[in-house]
Amino acid sequence: DDEAAAERLAGAIRALERPLAGVVLSLCGEPPRGRVLDQPARELNRRLELDLLPHQAAARHLLPLLSESGRNGGYVVIGSAGTDHPWAGYGYRSIAAAAIAMLVRVLHNEARLLGVRVQMLAVSRPVKTEENHGCACPGWPDANQLARQALDLVDQIESRHPVSAMVRFAEAL
């Protein structure tokens, strides 16, 4: 949720005294609905605090752990709908998703010096889960498929192609 929680998580992982091979990070929640024009400016600040800053805090504490392992670890952030194009009726989600994508691009470049691969598995639609299966659209990706592709990115040791910061779900490994 915040810097303190990320620091506690990193401490708990470090206390296991085992090398960290990878991280898959996904923040899930019900996206707020409504128009950006209908809300005061402070609501955007609140959304960024809830959606963007936890990603930055987690990276700040977990990327060094991956670097210490010396295993060319993968740090994969699961993207969400609205990253590339505004999601109608979910303006704040779209803005936060675009900000998270930019954060991943920045971390991708910065983490190279640490020997860590940072990537986003970009998902352009909501994800089908057991909870929403009854109302999910046929084109929604299955959560298990998404998890497998995220783990494939974490396990990617060497690639024949340059590692990209953004990997589209349909084009994932």
Task: Judge whether residue 10 has pLDDT over 90.
Answer: yes
- Buried/exposed 63-93: b ≥16 CB within 10 Å, e otherwise: bbbbbebeeebbbbbbbbbbbeeebeebbbb
pLDDT tens per residue, range 40-60: 889 889 889 999 999 999 999
Q: List helix spans (H) across 16-161.
A: 41-51, 53-69, 91-111, 143-155
Residue 160 confidence (pLDDT): 53
Give the model's pLDDT for residue 141.
Answer: 82
Could you read off the pLDDT of 113-135 as tens digits, one per residue?
998 999 999 887 778 888 888 88
Q: How confident is the model at residue 90 (pLDDT cuts 50, 70, 90)?
A: confident
Tell me what the pLDDT averaged over the chain comes to: 86
Round to whole Å and give the CA distance between 97 and 91: 10
Q: Which two tokens stand for residue 17?
A: 């005294």
Is the per-residue pLDDT at 18 higher than 70?
A: yes
| DSSP per-residue codes, 127-152 | PB-TTTTTT--TTSPBHHHHHHHHHH
Residue 93 has pLDDT above 50, yes or no: yes
**Tokens at residue 153, please?**
């990115």
Instruction: Output the pLDDT for position 159.
Output: 57
Residue 21's CB: how many other CB atoms inside 10 A?
Answer: 13
Query: In the block, which residue shows the tokens 């057991």?
Result: 130
